[in-house]
């Protein structure tokens, strides 16, 4: 059965093309801005400030990072405008997307009065969100100017909270939440968005930076080993946050395992889960196979091996993760509605037992991530076995 037939049989409406493109584009832009600024602050900046980093390698990475951030700001600005127009096209009785692109119509939409019972107009929330988006984009786009690039630290660290605020402001409810579940829903949704964009956006930034290997020195392997090590920790945190928030949202929107393949929403979610698991598997390969080998090469002062592992092998796997991450963002627009409503089942209602089960799953997940890090460290410390022939020669 095709996805179209499945969607129709379950009361699922496939999003219009403009909705697919604008929502995916918005998350691409958000991943670029949020992921790149967080990765710069938590990974690249401290690695470049470490002792022993060659000035030439530092300059190459700073220049490439500044260029990437500038383009990320431009993409976010354009994607944000189209996303705002898409919101207008779906608001009220709706209108053709082409008409919603008119600045005058958008301005009227942003100034619309608050609905009855709302503490603030929804248009006002969108107005604040897009003002912040313009400020974040402007800060990043300014990095196209060579003079501004000299102040990369200041610009990136200024744009970071602004980029985060772009998504956080949009989650502010216009009306008071009805119960605790309606408080957790937007909170965990933002955890999912922020951790996902940091994960995907950070991978993309480092993969692009690794293409500058031809301009780096023979000792760049040490710097890149530090970069991958730092980002591995960031990625582990993001994986934990994505899986935790994803479990909550899956429970809220899917009433049974069968709804994953009998509803349009469930099928889209199943595809997304498969793609995310692919990213987790690729990350596990890096953590259990490549990171220990990099650590051993660094310990043995094997410059050639370290350079090959950090700037050839590792980026190849990361590009695979980036491709899967892009596919995840392309699936997001299809997650509209709820599998529960499409299947005609009752909405999710939380209880003490649900929260207890969720807490237990979070503890198990945190423990597994901790064990992952410890096992990776143990593998890195394990000596490389010497072949019998080589031992006899010694």
Report the alpha-carbon distance of residue 91 to residue 121 in Å, rounded.
13
Which stretch of 39-43, 154-158, 296-300 has the lowest confidence by average pLDDT?
296-300
Specify the pLDDT at position 9: 46
Q: Residues 122, 130: contact at Cβ < 8 Å?
A: no
**Domain presence at residue 394:** no
**Domain presence at residue 393:** no
Tell me the chain's radius of gyration from C-alpha atoms.
23
- Helix/strand/coil for 118: coil
Q: Residues 162, 69: contact at Cβ < 8 Å?
A: no
What's the length of the chain?
394
- Report which of 296, 199, 226 is spatially closest to residue 57, judged by C-alpha positions: 226
Specify the pLDDT at position 120: 92
Prediction pTM value: 0.91
Specify the pLDDT at position 320: 96
Looking at per-residue pLDDT, the higher value among 393 and 196 belongs to 196
Report the alpha-carbon distance of residue 38 to residue 52 in Å, rounded.
24
Name residue, tokens 């890096």: 286
Q: Residues 153, 202: contact at Cβ < 8 Å?
A: no
pLDDT tens string 70-92: 999 999 999 999 999 999 999 88
**Domain presence at residue 297:** yes
Q: How confident is the model at residue 116 (pLDDT cuts 50, 70, 90)?
A: confident
Domain that residue 315 falls in: 3-385
- Whether the predicted pLDDT of 64 surpasses 90: yes
- CA geometry: angle 267, 270, 276, nearest 5 deg: 145
Decide: residue 297, CB within 10 A, 0-12 exposed, 13-18 middle, 19+ buried: buried
Q: How confident is the model at residue 386 (pLDDT cuts 50, 70, 90)?
A: very low
φ, ψ of residue 169 to 5 degrees: the values are -65, -40
Q: What percent of the chain has pLDDT over 70?
A: 93
Q: What percent of the chain has pLDDT over 90?
A: 64
Q: Distance from CA of residue 119 to its chain's centroid?
A: 31
Q: How confident is the model at residue 383 (pLDDT cuts 50, 70, 90)?
A: low
- Helix/strand/coil for 92: coil
Specify the pLDDT at position 369: 83
Q: How confident is the model at residue 167 (pLDDT cuts 50, 70, 90)?
A: very high
**Domain presence at residue 291:** yes
Q: Residues 295, 304: contact at Cβ < 8 Å?
A: no
**Domain presence at residue 392:** no
**Domain presence at residue 390:** no
Specify the pLDDT at position 180: 66
- Number of structural domains (the chain) is 1
**Domain presence at residue 71:** yes
Which stretch of 2-11, 266-275, 285-294 has the lowest confidence by average pLDDT?
2-11
What's the rounded mean pLDDT across residues 317-341? Answer: 94
**Domain presence at residue 7:** yes
């Amino acid at each position: 059965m095709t996805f179209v037939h499945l969607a129709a049989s379950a009361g699922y409406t496939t999003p219009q093309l403009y909705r697919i493109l604008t929502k995916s584009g918005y998350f691409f832009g958000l991943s670029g801005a949020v992921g790149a600024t967080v990765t710069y602050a938590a990974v690249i900046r401290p690695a470049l400030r470490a002792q022993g980093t060659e000035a030439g390698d530092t300059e190459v990475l700073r220049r490439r990072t500044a260029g990437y951030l500038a383009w990320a700001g431009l993409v976010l600005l354009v994607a944000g405008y189209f996303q705002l127009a898409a919101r207008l096209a779906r608001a009220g009785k709706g209108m053709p997307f082409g008409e919603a692109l008119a600045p005058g119509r958008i301005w009227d939409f942003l100034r619309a009065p608050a609905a009855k019972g709302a503490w603030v107009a929804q248009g006002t929330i969108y107005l604040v969100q897009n003002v912040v988006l313009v400020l974040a984009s402007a800060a990043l786009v300014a990095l196209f100017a060579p003079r501004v690039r000299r102040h990369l630290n200041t610009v990136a660290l200024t744009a970071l909270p602004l980029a985060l605020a772009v998504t956080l402001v949009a989650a502010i409810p216009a009306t008071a939440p009805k119960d605790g579940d309606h408080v957790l829903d937007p909170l965990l949704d933002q955890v999912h968005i922020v951790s996902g964009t940091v994960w995907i956006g950070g991978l993309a930034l480092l993969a692009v930076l690794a293409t500058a290997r031809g301009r780096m020195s023979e000792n760049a392997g040490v710097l890149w080993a530090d970069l991958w090590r730092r980002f591995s920790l960031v990625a582990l945190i993001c994986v934990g946050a994505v899986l935790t928030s994803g479990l909550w949202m899956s429970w809220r929107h899917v009433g049974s395992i069968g709804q994953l393949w009998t509803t349009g929403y469930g099928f889209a979610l199943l595809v997304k889960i498969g793609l995310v698991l692919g990213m987790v598997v690729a990350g596990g390969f890096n953590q259990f196979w490549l990171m220990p080998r990099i650590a051993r090469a660094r310990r043995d002062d094997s410059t050639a091996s370290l350079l090959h592992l950090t700037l050839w092998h590792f980026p190849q796997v990361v590009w695979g993760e980036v491709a899967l991450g892009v596919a995840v963002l392309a699936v997001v627009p299809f997650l509209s509605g709820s599998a529960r409503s499409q299947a005609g089942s009752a909405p999710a209602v939380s209880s003490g037992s649900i929260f207890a089960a969720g807490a237990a799953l979070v503890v198990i997940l945190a423990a597994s991530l901790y064990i992952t890090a410890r096992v990776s460290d143990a593998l890195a410390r394990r000596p490389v076995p010497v072949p019998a022939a080589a031992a006899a020669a010694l």
